Structure 1
Amino acid sequence: MTISVKQAYPRSGDKQTIYLKYIITNPNIEVGDFTMYNDFVNDPTQFEKNNVLYHYSINHDKLIIGKFCSIGCGARFLFNSANHTMKSLSTYPFPLFFEEWSLDKKDVIDSWDNKGDIVIVNDVWLGYEAVIMAGVTIGDGAIIGTRAVVTKDVSPYAIVGGVPAKIIKKRFTEETISSLQKIKWWNWPKDKIASNINAIQTGNIEALE
């Protein structure tokens, strides 16, 4: 794969941090502008191989990541083929080995339970080695703690941690959260964001409204 250094590597001399959208090749993965991934263990351009797991095209499930997300080293997304079916008397994936057991190849997907897509909205921070399970949606501005295992949806601007992940607190008041979701600064043109960075960083929401 030929990668544009200017596009994929936003920091001069830093090959551990990339803008993800420029290295994605899988049509079932969508990543928004300025979403970054840092990996100090592996090559970050191998994100699809190392971080998006059990993501087989037969399921048609998607990983959708919005804009301005920050993804920590080793964060992983576990898709539906990791969910051995709970409907059977056995968790063993017999349909996967259709040749061994003389089963119909078209029933391979009966080996697992399909819980749906993984959706990470905008301005989400995923901590070091966090794990996001199939079917989970993480709302705008949420923070996922280090090595948390997220099995359920996370509301906007919530901070969650633990195994399984549970809410620790909300980042802001409900009034501020409501305002941020109306403003949707991440959808602004780049020049407008640039002129409002100080207000964003200092928490001056009045200046954004």
Structure 2
Amino acid sequence: MSDYPLPQRFPAPETRNPVILPDGTPHAPTVFLQAVIDHPNIAVGRYAYYSPHTPEPDPAAVLAPYLYPGAPERLVIGPFAQIAHGVVFITASANHPMGGITTYPFRIFDMPTAQKYRDENAAIGDTVIGPDVWLGFEARVMAGVTIGAGAIVAAGAVVSRDVPPYAIVAGNPARLLRMRFAPDQVARLLELAWWDWPVAAIRAALPALEAGDVAALAQFRP
């Protein structure tokens, strides 16, 4: 494991701009999502961050442009998720009706008659991003997908199917490149669930986390 000193600073999860540049100024685009998203259909875990190229006044509208308040689906972003510039979640309410001859959404122009559309979208389900998931530059996550803990989604990938925990996926449609850990290690990591630990314990365990040493990580479990 690394001999580098542990970080002395770790901001609170409600901090808006958690990254401080060497000149002492905050990096304005990078935000902890808990501090900037107030949307009834989006649930955000602690320390999940979004890092676009420029500051976004309304990150919820950029990340999930089709998810309106009161929609029949939710976007769930787990703790310690890392979301790069250009990532978009295409949630279920982006869908057009597909059960008939036409996909033209006639009923959206008279919303009280659109319950059929809402029912179809509700059946697709929530989009769920697990803990410690890294979503690369301009990745697209389609409606109803679940991405497991610790997965990595490559830049430009289009994720249309569920991704297992600790998988690396790339391409359009996204395909599995490899697993980050052996099956027994993945099971142990999910059982340890370090993302739920107190922050002090996570900081102490950082050398094991950085080294990929599952056995050593277990020793830090509070």
- Relative to the length of structure 1, the TM-score reads 0.89
- Runs (5+) with no aligned partner, structure 2: 1-11
Aligned to 2:107: 95
Residue 19 (structure 1) shift: 0.7
Aligned to 2:141: 132
Q: Does 1:196 align with 2:205?
A: yes
Name the one with the larger helix percent.
1
Residues 41, 67 of structure 2: 8 Å contact kept? no
Aligned to 2:196: 187
Q: How far apart, CA to CA, are the structure 2 residues paired with 1:156 and 1:59?
A: 27
Alignment of 1:137-176 (within 5 A): 137-176=146-185
- Runs (5+) with no aligned partner, structure 1: 99-104
Q: Does 1:10 align with 2:18?
A: yes
Q: 1:53 is paired with a residue of what secondary structure?
A: coil
Identity %: 38
Aligned to 2:33: 20
- Which residue of 109, 112, 125 maps to 1:106? 112
Q: AA paired with 2:83?
A: I
- Relative to the length of structure 2, the TM-score reads 0.84
- Which residue of 36, 40, 51 maps to 2:49? 36
RMSD of Structure 2 on Structure 1 (CA):
1.7
Q: 1:9 is paired with a residue of what secondary structure?
A: coil
Q: AA paired with 1:131?
A: R
Residue 174 (structure 1) shift: 0.7
Residue 109 (structure 1) shift: 4.0
Residue 58 (structure 1) shift: 4.2
Q: AA paired with 1:199?
A: A
Q: AA paired with 2:149?
A: D
Q: AA paired with 1:202?
A: A
Residues 17, 44 of structure 1: 8 Å contact kept? no
Q: 1:88 is paired with a residue of what secondary structure?
A: coil
Q: How far apart, CA to CA, are the structure 2 residues paired with 1:183 and 1:79?
A: 30
Q: AA paired with 1:179?
A: R
Q: How far apart, CA to CA, are the structure 2 residues paired with 1:125 and 1:45?
A: 22
Q: How many residues align?
A: 198
Residues 59, 109 of structure 1: 8 Å contact kept? no
Go from structure 1 to structure 2 and tell me whether the alpha carbon gap of 1:58 and 1:195 turns closer, same or farther (over 3 Å shift): closer
Q: How far apart, CA to CA, are the structure 2 residues paired with 1:110 and 1:160?
A: 34
